[in-house]
Amino acid sequence: MTPSTSAGRAGLTLTLPHHVVKQFRRAARRPRRDYPSPVPAPADAVPPREDGRRLRYRHRREELLQAATEHVVAEGLAQASLRRVAEGVGVSHAALLHHFGTREDLLAEIVERVLTRAFSAPGLHEGDPDGPLRALWRHATAEPGRRHVRLFLAVTGQALYDEGLAATVSRSVRERTDLIAAGFAAAGADPATARSLGTLVLSTMRGLLLDRLVTGDTDRVDAAFELFVRGLETAYPRRS
């Protein structure tokens, strides 16, 4: 085959066949095309597919906390690892981390919610005809209040060995104590006495409820609680 052209560089001569030269010339006359990069730029990258269970609770943190609380109340503190709670609620472990950060943070919110539900009642100077303390006792000894009390007592025991839980329980107890103390203050007690009475009521109820749950001797414990309330009513009669 007769060569049709040649190119030289640095004293070297390269001879190409005629048909190859024609192909190069045709390629040079073609309009330039922009081909997509085989690797997309970061801005164009397709985001990873999210877990559908996590999407279920996006922007629904309160609902997720409610579900986590119900799971821990039903299953107990031993089932309160992030992975077990995630499985029980039906979300991914990553979803709980996204919303609550750590197990300690999640438990802190659950404890606060449980304590509020277990020891919530109207002010001591108003409410139930039999008295708000009796109403509170009925609430704490019947479902679902009893389940919340059981978990709170379990968390309180665990707090003896866990500084994070201890801080959460301590804060919640102080808040509940202040609420009860406000009721005694409204009934005429001075602030210092009202706070002491609030501490007495909450601590006594906690001990009696623990006794009731562990022994199952409801008549004995209920009678002790009634005696306790009568003593308070004698010292601080309810205002009509």
pLDDT tens track for 192-232: 999 999 999 999 999 999 999 999 999 999 999 999 999 99
Q: Output the pTM of the full model.
A: 0.66
Task: Identify the structural domains of the chain with CATH numbers, from first to last.
Answer: 53-101 (1.10.10.60), 105-235 (1.10.357.10)
Q: Name, in order, each residue with C-beta under 8 angstroms of 234's C-beta and a sequence gap of 6 or more.
A: none
pLDDT digit string, tens, across residues 31-60: 555 545 555 545 555 555 555 555 555 568
- Residue % of the chain over a pLDDT of 70: 70
